[in-house]
Amino acid sequence: MQDILDKESGRFDLPIALGILAASEQLPAGALDEYEFAGELSLTGALRPIRGALAMTLAADRRGRRFVLPTDSAREAVLSGAPVLAARSLLEVCAHLAGQEPLPALQRDAATTVAIDYPDLADVRGQTRARRVLEIAAAGRHSLLLAGPPGAGKSMLAARLPGLLPPLGNDEALESAALLSLAGQFRPENFRQHPYRSPHHTASAAALVGGGATPRPGEISLAHHGVLFLDELPEFDRRVLEALREPLESGRIHISRAARQAEFPARFQLVAAMNPCMCGYAGDASGRCRCTPDQIARYRSRLSGPLLDRIDLQIEVPALDAAALQGAPDGESSALVRSRVRVAHERQLARQGKSNALLAGKEIDRHCTPDAEGRKLATQAIDRLRLSARAYHRVLRVARSIADLAGSVGVGAAHVAEAIQYRRFARD
């Protein structure tokens, strides 16, 4: 016995209407064979846009079929490269199938695209160390934790990370766009743009990782090939944060419900921000913080050790003094940093075919093993900082990214030393 699926949304309205017209011989049944249809019908017969048009078109293209879609959805779906016909009403579709008036075929080159415009890193004043870490994170696609007082610029820095990343390839752009399409959030003008998702700390586990009676992608999948920014990290529900642990490692999320199961890609770059304590001013030179050591420890303990272990780079972002705030921007532009990141990323692809953050097992031994002085330094770090095996491997991957930015073939002691200092915050 076949499973019966509940009808969801109105995307089947158009094929159902055409099926009825063909069965009643008002349309030639054979005319439907070479097409696939989707679209919601209004009471007037006008076609309304639907969610997931790009994802459906990618599947249809593999079957060698042409897709007939509402005009707004067709502008999105044409990015797949599949042959797409645009229709404004049921009447136009019927006229096309009857051979009376052909529907316009959209071409991918005709899709609306604009130049990608990211916030510029040059807007950031001071924070030389944080800008350096942002560059390393972009070069190797490493996860990042920024800790500092309110107003230090943590959110501003995070928003500039997508503009430092290497451009999306065509396959990556299509994967990202298809997931956004499933959520009804894709815009053709944003094609090839790295997603940047910033859910509020009240977000549920289903909103973050996906779910629902009919499983849909969550924020981690909507950030696929982009950045997921979690501000006020300790304020998120602990169970929500723990749900990130598996996709951070695997790059996928499997959602299981009583009726259905779904798996979505979730290869996102995590950037998180937090205050050093409840009031936000622990360690401030003004001495305004009145939090006790016990209160600070409880605040930081909201983040589990296993989760922190999975974050590659962890640094403090200090408050800016008056001179830095009132002075002119003193940093490099995103375009200049992005050029260095692109060269480093190309080195990684030529050497191992993937970003450094994705290296595992024997790949780390092959590509990230430091020289003798570097190994000695790493051994000392394991003992003094009590690094886990996972944390140690992440130090090596970050050191590899630092070496790539420097144009170094091997990983040296200087690269390892810099990588180690970016894991100090969670252990101070």
The CATH number that applies at residue 266 is 3.40.50.300
- Total structural domains in the chain? 3
Q: Please, which pLDDT band fits residue 8 given cuts at 50, 70 and 90?
A: low
Q: Tell whether the model's pLDDT for residue 330 goes beyond 90.
A: no
**CATH number for position 57:** 3.30.230.10
- pLDDT tens digits along 86-134: 999 999 999 998 889 989 888 776 444 445 678 999 988 888 999 999 9
| Alpha carbon of residue 158 to chain centroid | 13
Q: Which domain holds residue 366?
A: 359-428
Distance from C-alpha of 22 to C-alpha of 29, rounded to nearest angstrom: 5
**Same-domain status, 35 and 162:** no
Asked if the structure places residue 2 within a domain, the reply is: no
Q: Are 46 and 15 in contact (CB under 8 A)?
A: no
For range 400-420, the mean pLDDT:
95
- Assess whether 398 and 327 both reside in one domain: no
Would residue 5 count as lying in a domain? Answer: no
Q: Would residue 372 count as lying in a domain?
A: yes
> Last residue of a domain, which of 85, 110, 135?
110
Question: Domain of 420: which CATH number?
Answer: 1.10.8
The end-to-end CA distance of the chain, in Å, is: 61
Shared domain for 52 and 191, answered yes or no, is no
pLDDT over 70 (residue 366)? yes
Distance CA 358, CA 244 (A): 16
- E strands of 249-344, at which residues? 252-256, 261-265, 269-274, 313-316
Q: Which of 110, 141, 160 is the last residue of a domain?
A: 110
Q: What is the DSSP letter of 374?
A: H
pLDDT digits over 207-255, tens only? 999 877 778 899 999 999 999 999 999 999 999 999 999 999 999 998 8
Is residue 193, in this structure, part of any structural domain at all?
A: yes
Residues 334 and 364 reside in one and the same domain: no
Q: What value does the mean pLDDT take over residues 292-315?
A: 91
Question: Does residue 327 sit in the same domain as residue 365?
Answer: no
Q: Report d(CA 197, CA 244) in Å as an integer.
A: 15
Indicate if the pLDDT at residue 357 is higher than 90.
yes
Which of 63, 82, 110 is at the close of a domain?
110
DSSP state of 130: H
H or E stretch covering 233: none
The 10 Å Cβ neighbour count of residue 416 is 27
Q: Indicate if 244 and 178 belong to the same structural domain.
A: yes
Per-residue pLDDT at 315: 94
Residue 206's closest CA among 231, 260, 243? Answer: 243
Domain assignment present for residue 1? The answer is no
Within this chain, do residues 215 and 276 fall inside the same structural domain, yes or no? yes
How many C-beta atoms lie closer than 10 Å to residue 32's C-beta? 17
What is the helix (H) or strand (E) element at residue 401, kind and residue range? helix 389-406
Q: Residue 102 — φ and ψ, nearest 5°?
A: -65, 145
Give yes or no: residues 222 and 343 share one domain: yes
Is the domain of 268 the same as that of 210? Answer: yes
What's the pLDDT at 58?
77
Same domain membership, residue 132 and residue 38: no
Summarize the confidence of residues 15-41 as an average pLDDT.
87
Q: What is the pLDDT of residues 150-193, one digit of tens each?
A: 988 899 999 999 999 988 888 898 889 889 988 888 888 888 89
User: Are 61 and 195 found together in one domain?
Assistant: no
Residue 81 token pair: 């490269």
Angle (deg, nearest 10), helices 128-140 and 389-406: 100
For residue 115, being part of any structural domain is answered with no
Percent of the chain with pLDDT over 70: 93
Residues 243 and 303 in one domain: yes
Tell me, yes or no, whether 3 lies in a domain: no
